[in-house]
């Protein structure tokens, strides 16, 4: 591999739509692993729009990423809660639900948790 790589999320390797048109995940596959840009539309909630795809009671992906725009609330299985917004770095362990806050799409970049996220079985 060359010393530099440039890719665009406007031409992803894969796009995974969420249930009910509630958003999508654009995936770039790199030598270092999958990197994803998720667009979560207003009204999106993991337990409504991804749970049917994942088949688990809560999200079992760990996420390390950056919120580009919009706001999201994450609730861990143990009850811990946090809100994330534009400019926030986030690290979220497996075992959580999440939903969009407000009427603006939430856009997040993630370089650890989107390899198999929202992948249809």
Q: How far apart are CA 86 and CA 59, in angstroms?
A: 22
**Measured distance CA(9)–CA(68) in Å, rounded:** 13
Query: Pseudo-torsion of CA 71, 38, 36, 79, nearest 10°?
Result: 50
In the predicted model, is pLDDT for residue 121 greater than 70?
A: no
CA quadruple 79, 80, 83, 87: dihedral, nearest 10:
-150
The structure tokens listed for 27 are 């995936």
Number of C-beta neighbours around residue 95 at 10 A: 16
> Cβ neighbours of residue 78 under 8 Å, at least 6 residues apart?
95
- Whole-model pTM over 0.85: yes
47-93 pLDDT tens trace: 999 998 889 999 999 999 999 999 999 999 999 999 999 999 999 99
Residue 23's closest CA among 111, 115, 110, 99? 99
N- to C-terminal Cα separation, the chain: 32
Q: Which secondary structure element, helix H or strand E, spans residue 51, and what is its range?
A: helix 51-54
pLDDT tens for each residue of 25-42: 999 999 889 999 999 999
Output the pLDDT for position 104: 98
pLDDT in tens, 39-57: 999 999 999 999 988 899 9
């Amino acid at each position: 591999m060359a010393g530099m790589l440039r890719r665009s999320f406007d031409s992803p390797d894969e796009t995974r739509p969420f249930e009910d048109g509630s958003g999508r995940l654009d995936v770039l596959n790199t030598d270092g692993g999958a990197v994803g840009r998720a667009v979560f539309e207003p009204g999106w909630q993991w337990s409504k729009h991804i749970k049917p795809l994942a088949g688990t009671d809560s999200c079992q992906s760990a996420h390390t990423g950056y919120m580009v725009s919009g706001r999201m609330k994450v609730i861990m299985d143990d009850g811990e809660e946090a809100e994330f917004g534009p400019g926030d770095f986030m690290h979220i362990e497996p075992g959580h639900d999440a939903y969009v806050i407000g009427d603006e799409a939430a856009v997040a970049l993630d370089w650890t948790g989107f390899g198999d996220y929202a992948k249809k079985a």
